[in-house]
């Protein structure tokens, strides 16, 4: 523990460890210092200067986010000088910003707008001249996931730091200097053509509307209004612990029943669950893993190990760009979203007697990369595009608000059947480590006939927010057909956030570590903090959503994918067997090697 | 206040027949602390413009415990109107290298960098040869000190010490947050002394001639002499080493063309002294400090154009990361244009002055912080040129 120092903030004494920033010290006194370029997930930039404060005996103001306190320091966070400087800074930002807020996706949820409100700063305050030259700014609509609008950019570089520090991708960089500075891509190429993984973490970390998802609300509403269309909606696991945040509820509020009800009120013909297809993924992926192990250990065939999970489309695009020589290691399983689409437009359409050409599958996803995934040319195994439209959790929140649904007072409703029932294993897909835990619950039982050897089925070593997690499970008491696995120590690892994924893969490639099975989620925390989830997000919010995910799991009557009665029914009536012929046609996919530039 | 007459000095370019390697050999027989104390005692302040006491800087770096330390020579001479480092590098490169080696010895560094302004690339081949010769010679006396010449890419902001480090490390030249200061965590996050070219030469000369010889020159606050780059409306533009502490009036009498209306001291980021103040202002740290640039303007010059030119320069050369500097300079530039054209009232200049003061206290580095220097001193003294 470092030395404690005494500092005074606005005349109030506070004791904090030496080196604490002024921002953190002020927080201890419940003094809020406004920030813009600061984000607790990221390194300190200190470039927006909104958080400047007065430090006694310092000739200049100091940025509270970057300035460390020292013994005896006296700080003023709200003096006339500070207020004037902040107001100037906010007005300067507004002068180079397209402040036509009513046209902006983030209207009402914009950090710059909030600051302008707090400081009564106006677009041409002090008579500042509007600097924005619309001719020179581009709006990049090339990506199916993300829209980049430079006219809304405040150059805080949060997106650049996110892309580099959290994701290790650096698709977004700073280009040019001075008045020409802008956030750009490699050679200013459109987002679609660069290494961007579509993860949307830049969107989650953007304080304004400069980076947003490409919205599909209008298309979905049109489909709902079209009487010839049967519109099916699926909801991803993590949406049910985050949606409420943009509808007046606390972070992590569990809103599964309200969400289902709201979707019905919005007019969807059938409200189904991606948790169901998460269970389906586990059956397919679990058997794929066991088959690979069988080939490697029993048949001594050459087979790519470790096997990587394939649920996270940001991760898929990442590995296609960065490690195209490792695509063999990816599970061939489609993600739960895509499995759902393929099953919906075949089995489900048949069952309910709807012509799949008139079926529209919409997904509610915590993710922007899912939009790209749904549009991949290979995702049409039903004969149609398997998933037609992807909405982020945020887009759904907007639709619910617009529809005049009082979400906080909404009664609860249940998913339709079939394709609506799920287990606790499905819902934990929403948290980092969840796919691993769900897969182990099933695979272990397939092999041994017994439950995983963890109290209450909770595989604690794979849970939590550590960037890279590892676990070893000894397989004990195998059934006859799996005898070759007797005594094998199954080694698994989990990474979330692509920067962590990169670290893990580099270690695997260097031969420093060895695993059988590796789960990777593109976004830090997993889907619960995906690029399509309500903003803001930080570790405190991640933890709350995560707690809720595991709470839902604990309270489910069934917690293993293979016990899901609808899954059993699906195999009996349609798919016949895991990794069988029909499964391969509908539920598995292939990948595309891509270049880095 | 102590005032000196205008006196030409010849420490930097003089004493050419001295074997400076021998000076180094003699110096490193002494205890590093005693050398640092001599530099502190000499009163030498950094010659790049900011004027931090050189000896103290070395002392701070020496006190740091680290497996690695660096000595960096800032040769990114980019301030408009200064061209003296170029001459020093061409004429007396060995004095620079000896100064760096003395510093390395004092603080315990084994590696040095010279960051050369991009536009001076043509100096590199000759300079590199000198460096190689010097480093080889160091090996003969078992003095372990490697020097790398790093050529900048032309950004003005890279003359700011932490932006310079970023540039050497291969990133965008953008100033860092301070603290930590370079003596604690500088280049590659290691304790670093970074000094201007001229500063290193003075440390060599102090070691050669002794503290007392150096202290003979200058005033209490501005010890020694300084190399000035004189340009503008003068009959004798060029490089002159002068004793610090003279009045602007004496300077104008020597270099002016008889019609000098204003003197810009310290380049585009410096301060403009109008004729009425020539007799009241001293060139030195107690008055107007300078990295060496002095521009003279006669009555034919439009001070609006002068400021306009400076502001255009800053709009282009701001690194762009921090709001007050990136947007502030654009507002100042567009603002004076609007006043000049009559699109904004004269009173708008007051708003701009307030903005310049915000830039001074809220910008991240010296580039934005110096906005108020030229802006206030030119607008206040020549307001008629802006509103008519």
Q: What is the pTM of this model?
A: 0.96
User: What backbone phi and psi angles, to 5 degrees, belong to A163?
Assistant: -65, -35
Arithmetic mean of pLDDT, A66-71: 97
Quote the tokens at residue A204. 């989650």
Q: Return the bridge partners of A493, or none.
A: A470, A518
Report DSSP state, residue B120: G
CATH superfamily of B20-215: NADH-ubiquinone oxidoreductase 51kDa subunit (3.40.50.11540)
User: What backbone phi and psi angles, to 5 degrees, belong to B151?
Assistant: -100, 125
Report DSSP state, residue B234: B
- Give the torsion sign (CA, B180, B186, B190, B195): negative
User: What's chain B's average pLDDT?
Assistant: 97
pLDDT > 60? residue A184: yes
Q: Range(s) for CATH 1.20.1440.230 in chain B? A: 303-387
Percent of chain A with pLDDT over 70: 99
Percent of chain A with pLDDT over 90: 97
Measured CA to CA in angstroms, residue A241 lies from A340, A527, A546, B308, B346 at distances of 21, 11, 8, 56, 57
pLDDT > 60? residue A216: yes
Cβ of B317 within 8 Å of Cβ of A177? The answer is yes
CATH number for the segment(s) B225-297: 3.10.20.600
Please tell me the distance in Å from A538's CA to the nearest CA on chain B: 24
Distance of CA B68 to the CA centre of its chain: 26
Cβ of B322 within 8 Å of Cβ of A49? The answer is yes
Considering only CB atoms, B327 lies closest to which of A96, A157, A174, namely: A96
pLDDT > 70? residue A593: yes
Render pLDDT for A113-131 as a digit per residue (tens, 0 to 9).
Answer: 999 999 999 887 778 999 9
Render pLDDT for A324-341 as a digit per residue (tens, 0 to 9).
Answer: 999 999 999 999 999 999
pLDDT > 90? residue B1: no
pLDDT > 80? residue A398: yes
Give Rg (Cα) of chain B: 21
- Predicted local distance difference test score (pLDDT) of residue A224: 98
pLDDT > 60? residue A1: no
* Distance, CA of A128 to CA of B79 (rounded, Å): 28
Buried b (16+ CB within 10 A) or exposed e, A166-184: bbbbebbbbbebbbebbbb
Q: In the CATH scheme, what architecture does the domain B303-387 have?
A: Up-down Bundle (1.20)
- Angle, nearest 10°, between helix axes A498-509 and A313-322? 50
In a mutagenesis test of the A interface, which of B358, B359, B367, B372 is the best target, namely the one with the most A β-carbons within 10 Å? B358
Render pLDDT for B119-157 as a digit per residue (tens, 0 to 9).
Answer: 999 999 999 999 999 999 999 999 999 999 999 999 999
Pairing of strands B70-75, A270-273: unpaired
Indicate the Cα dihedral angle A205, A209, A211, A216, nearest 10°: 120
Model confidence at A136, in pLDDT bands (50, 70, 90)?
A: low
* Distance, CA of A140 to CA of A146 (rounded, Å): 8
- Identify which of B79, B241, B113 has the alpha carbon closest to the alpha carbon of residue B187: B113
Q: Range(s) for CATH 3.40.50.11540 in chain B? A: 20-215
Residue of A nearest to B330 (CA): A179
Q: Range(s) for CATH 3.10.20.600 in chain B? A: 225-297
Residues 75-114 of A with CB under 8 A from B: 81, 84-85, 88-89, 92-93, 95-96
Element at B272 (helix H, strand E):
strand B271-274
Flag whether residue A527 sits within 8 Å of chain B, measured between CB atoms: no
* Distance, CA of A486 to CA of B192 (rounded, Å): 59
Q: Return the bridge partners of A68, or none.
A: A21
pLDDT > 80? residue A137: no
Please tell me the distance in Å from B369's CA to the nearest CA on chain A: 8
Percent of chain B with pLDDT over 90: 98
Render pLDDT for A287-304 as a digit per residue (tens, 0 to 9).
Answer: 999 999 999 999 999 999
Is residue A477 within 8 Å of residue A496, measured between CB atoms? no
Domains of chain A: 4-78 (3.10.20.740), 123-213 (3.30.70.20), 217-276+337-409 (3.40.50.1780), 285-333+423-537+549-587 (3.40.950.10)
Quote the tokens at residue A455. 């109290």
In a mutagenesis test of the B interface, which of A46, A133, A150, A178 is the best target, namely the one with the most B β-carbons within 10 Å? A178
Render pLDDT for A223-250 as a digit per residue (tens, 0 to 9).
Answer: 999 999 999 999 999 999 999 999 999 9
- Give the torsion sign (CA, B351, B357, B363, B368): positive
Model confidence at B87, in pLDDT bands (50, 70, 90)?
A: very high
- Predicted local distance difference test score (pLDDT) of residue B32: 97
Q: Which of the residues of A are catalytic?
A: 285, 288, 311, 331, 370, 373, 378, 527
Report DSSP state, residue A128: P
Q: Which residues of B touch A177 (CB under 8 A)?
A: 155, 157, 172, 316-320
* Distance, CA of A368 to CA of A192 (rounded, Å): 13
Render pLDDT for A529-558 as a digit per residue (tens, 0 to 9).
Answer: 999 999 999 999 999 999 999 999 999 999
Cβ of A85 within 8 Å of Cβ of B362? The answer is yes
Render pLDDT for B361-379 as a digit per residue (tens, 0 to 9).
Answer: 999 999 999 999 999 999 9
* Distance, CA of B176 to CA of B225 (rounded, Å): 31
In a mutagenesis test of the B interface, which of A49, A54, A82 is the best target, namely the one with the most B β-carbons within 10 Å? A49
């Amino acid at each position: 523990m470092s030395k404690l120092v005494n500092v005074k903030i606005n005349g109030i004494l506070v004791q904090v460890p030496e080196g604490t920033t002024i921002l953190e010290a002020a927080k201890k006194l419940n003094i809020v210092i406004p920030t813009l370029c600061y984000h607790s997930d990221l390194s300190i930039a200190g470039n927006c200067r909104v958080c400047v404060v007065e430090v006694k005996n310092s000739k200049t103001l100091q940025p509270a986010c970057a300035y460390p306190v020292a013994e005896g320091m006296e700080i003023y966070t709200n003096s006339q000088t500070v207020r004037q400087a902040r107001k100037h800074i906010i007005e300067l930002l507004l002068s180079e910003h397209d402040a036509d807020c009513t046209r902006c996706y983030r209207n009402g949820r914009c950090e710059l707008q909030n600051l302008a409100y707090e400081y009564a700063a106006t677009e041409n305050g002090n008579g500042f001249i509007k600097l924005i030259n619309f001719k020179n700014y581009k709006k990049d609509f090339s990506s199916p996931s993300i829209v980049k609008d430079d006219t809304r950019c405040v150059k805080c570089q949060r997106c650049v730091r996110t892309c580099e520090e959290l994701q290790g991708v650096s698709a977004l960089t700073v280009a040019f200097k001075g008045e020409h500075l802008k956030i750009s891509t490699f050679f200013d190429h459109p987002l679609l053509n660069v290494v961007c993984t579509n993860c949307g973490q830049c969107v989650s970390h953007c304080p304004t509307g400069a980076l947003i998802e490409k919205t599909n609300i209008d298309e979905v509403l049109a489909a709902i209004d079209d009487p010839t269309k049967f519109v099916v909606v699926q909801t991803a696991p993590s949406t049910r612990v985050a949606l409420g945040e943009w509808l007046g509820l606390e972070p992590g509020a569990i809103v599964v029943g309200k969400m289902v009800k709201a979707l019905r009120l919005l007019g969807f013909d059938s409200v189904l669950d991606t948790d169901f297809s998460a269970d389906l993924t586990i059956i397919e992926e679990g058997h794929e893993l066991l088959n690979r192990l069988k080939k490697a250990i029993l048949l001594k065939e050459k087979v790519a190990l470790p096997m990587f999970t394939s649920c996270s489309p940001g991760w898929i695009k990442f590995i296609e760009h960065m490690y195209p020589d490792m695509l063999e290691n990816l599970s061939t399983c489609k993600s739960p979203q895509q499995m759902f689409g393929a099953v919906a437009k075949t089995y489900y359409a048949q069952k309910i007697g709807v012509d799949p050409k008139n079926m529209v599958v919409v997904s509610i996803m915590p993710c922007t990369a899912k939009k790209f995934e749904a549009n991949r040319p290979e995702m049409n195994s039903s004969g149609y595009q398997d998933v037609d439209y992807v909405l982020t959790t945020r887009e759904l929140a907007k639709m619910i608000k617009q529809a005049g649904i009082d979400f906080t007072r909404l009664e609860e409703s249940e998913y339709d059947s079939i394709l609506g029932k799920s287990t606790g294993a499905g819902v934990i897909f929403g948290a980092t480590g969840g796919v691993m835990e769900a897969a182990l619950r099933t695979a272990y039982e397939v092999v041994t006939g017994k439950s995983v050897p963890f109290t209450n089925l909770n595989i604690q070593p794979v849970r939590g927010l550590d960037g890279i997690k590892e676990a070893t499970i000894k397989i004990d008491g195998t059934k006859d057909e799996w005898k070759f696995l007797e005594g094998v120590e199954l080694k698994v690892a989990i990474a979330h956030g692509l920067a962590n994924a990169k670290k893990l893969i580099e270690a695997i490639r260097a031969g420093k570590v060895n695993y059988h099975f590796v789960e990777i989620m593109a976004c830090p925390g997993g889907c619960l903090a995906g690029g399509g989830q309500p903003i803001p997000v930080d570790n405190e919010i991640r933890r709350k959503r995560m707690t809720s995910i595991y709470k839902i799991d604990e309270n489910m009557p069934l917690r293993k994918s293979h016990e899901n009665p609808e899954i059993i029914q699906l195999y009996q009536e349609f798919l016949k067997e895991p990794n069988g012929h029909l499964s391969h046609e509908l539920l598995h996919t292939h990948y595309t090697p891509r270049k880095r530039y | 206040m102590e005032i000196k007459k205008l006196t030409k000095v010849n420490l930097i370019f003089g004493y050419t027949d001295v074997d400076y390697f021998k000076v180094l050999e003699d110096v490193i027989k002494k205890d590093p602390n005693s050398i640092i104390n001599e530099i502190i005692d000499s009163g030498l302040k950094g010659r790049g413009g900011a004027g931090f006491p050189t000896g103290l800087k070395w002392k701070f770096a020496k006190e740091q415990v680290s497996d690695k330390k660096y000595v960096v020579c800032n040769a990114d001479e980019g301030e408009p109107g200064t061209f003296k480092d170029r001459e020093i590098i061409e004429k007396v490169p060995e004095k620079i290298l000896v100064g760096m080696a003395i510093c390395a010895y004092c603080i315990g560094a084994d590696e040095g960098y010279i960051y050369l302004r991009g536009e001076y690339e043509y100096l590199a081949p000759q300079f590199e040869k000198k460096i190689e010769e010097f480093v080889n010679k160091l090996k003969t006396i078992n003095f372990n000190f490697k020097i790398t010449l790093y050529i900048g890419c032309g950004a003005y902001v890279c003359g700011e010490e932490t932006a310079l480090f970023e540039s050497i490390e291969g990133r965008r030249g953008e100033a860092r947050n301070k603290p930590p200061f370079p003596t604690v965590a500088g280049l590659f996050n290691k304790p670093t002394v970074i000094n201007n070219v001229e500063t290193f030469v003075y440390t060599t000369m102090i070691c050669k001639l002794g503290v007392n010889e150096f202290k003979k020159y200058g005033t209490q606050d501005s010890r020694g002499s300084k190399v000035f780059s004189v340009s503008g409306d003068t009959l004798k533009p060029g490089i002159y080493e002068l004793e610090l502490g003279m009045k602007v009036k004496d300077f104008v009498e020597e270099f002016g063309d008889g019609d000098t209306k204003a003197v810009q001291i310290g380049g585009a980021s410096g301060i403009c002294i109008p004729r009425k103040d020539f007799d009241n202002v001293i060139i030195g740290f107690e008055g107007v400090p300078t990295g060496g640039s002095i521009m003279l303007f006669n009555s034919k010059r439009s001070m609006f154009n002068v400021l306009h030119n400076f502001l255009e320069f800053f709009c282009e050369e701001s690194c762009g990361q921090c709001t007050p500097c990136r947007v502030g300079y654009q507002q100042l530039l567009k603002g004076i244009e609007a006043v000049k054209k009559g699109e904004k009232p004269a009173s708008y200049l007051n708003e701009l002055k307030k903005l310049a003061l915000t830039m001074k206290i809220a910008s991240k580095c010296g580039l934005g912080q110096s906005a108020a220097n030229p802006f206030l001193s030119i607008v206040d003294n020549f307001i008629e040129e802006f509103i008519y």
